[in-house]
Structure 1
């Protein structure tokens, strides 16, 4: 059976592994990064209309400063992010399904949004809203042992993960990449057995792609 490598940080890695195994995939969690909170001071909540949350890590690691902005509704990039925000006590104003740019295109251009973000982030493209980013967490590279990766399918959840995985793999020719977006695929560079991007930037679409790729591969 083709090995599937889940490279995203915990606890999301374990969630993805569980979903993958439900699909019959031979998945293992090999997180390339560890999430750490970053100390931050919350601005005055009354000058914003809502919170832009593009990762569940923002509410998991936002710390006590989140209390100062808990009155603001959350504009979440996807269902998992919305669920984490709801569990943290926030009201949800809108949930996207195809990335942050599509989310922002679907809401009022007059919104003033506080973006609870990671240190490594890509700003939204040509957003019409007034967006103020604040760093509340960072992802730090881990020392990892990938084990045997020949013949495996690696799930690339971000451009940074693509770059990091490319640094760690000596022989790319027998490794297939399933990327959550074209940007994540491009970041991994060339020389892989095969590279494909999910139809939408979601864990569900990425796992569906991985399952499809596994059917076309034979274990080495």
Structure 2
């Protein structure tokens, strides 16, 4: 049996482990990082915002309840199924499931939100493409970093 080292943090590590086992591999879990919540200032978070975008389920999981409560009535655009499920579980009332790719989600949102503000719940460590595509389409993206990915000792 082929062994596979899984270094991603939970909860994704366990999902990956189960998938690998189903395919006949012997996974070895050794997460090298973990996600931790960041302090978020709730005051004025929803000012002028017309929607919320989320490209990571961790961003929703680590979002303070006060942030979700302040944003829950806005349409929430999630990158894919797992992130949409996390947004619904957190309390967002209207969640749309995107194509599963951050850049494709940005392209889908760009035309409908020109000159408007979108709140982007995200991690401190992230790829810039989502924000860059929206900003190129004149969408005001207000990033709210709800978590960080840190190395384990």
Distance 1:60 1:44 in 2: 17
Q: Report what 2:123 is aligned to.
A: 118
Give the TM-score normalised by structure 2: 0.83
Instruction: Describe how 1:1-220 pairs up with structure 2 within 5 A.
Output: 1-42=1-42, 43-45=44-46, 47-65=48-66, 66-90=68-92, 91-97=94-100, 99-111=101-113, 112-123=117-128, 124=130, 125-127=132-134, 128=137, 129-143=139-153
Superposed displacement of residue 56, structure 1: 0.7
Q: Deviations over 1:73-100 (max 9, x none)?
A: 2211122111111111222124222x21
Distance 1:136 1:44 in 2: 12
Distance 1:110 1:95 in 2: 14
Aligned length, in residue pairs: 142
Give the TM-score normalised by structure 1: 0.59
Distance 2:10 2:88 in 1: 19
Structure with more of its chain in strand, by fraction: 2
Superposed displacement of residue 126, structure 1: 2.7
C-alpha root-mean-square deviation of aligned residues, in Å?
1.7
> 3-state DSSP class of the match of 2:36?
strand
Unaligned stretches of 5+ in structure 2?
Answer: none
Distance 1:44 1:141 in 2: 29
Superposed displacement of residue 114, structure 1: 0.6
Superposed displacement of residue 132, structure 1: 1.0
User: Any conservation in 1 of the 2:80–2:97 contact (CA below 8 Å)?
Assistant: no
| Bigger RCO of structures 1 and 2 (CA < 8 A, at least 6 apart) | 2
> 3-state DSSP class of the match of 1:10?
coil
Distance 2:88 2:20 in 1: 25
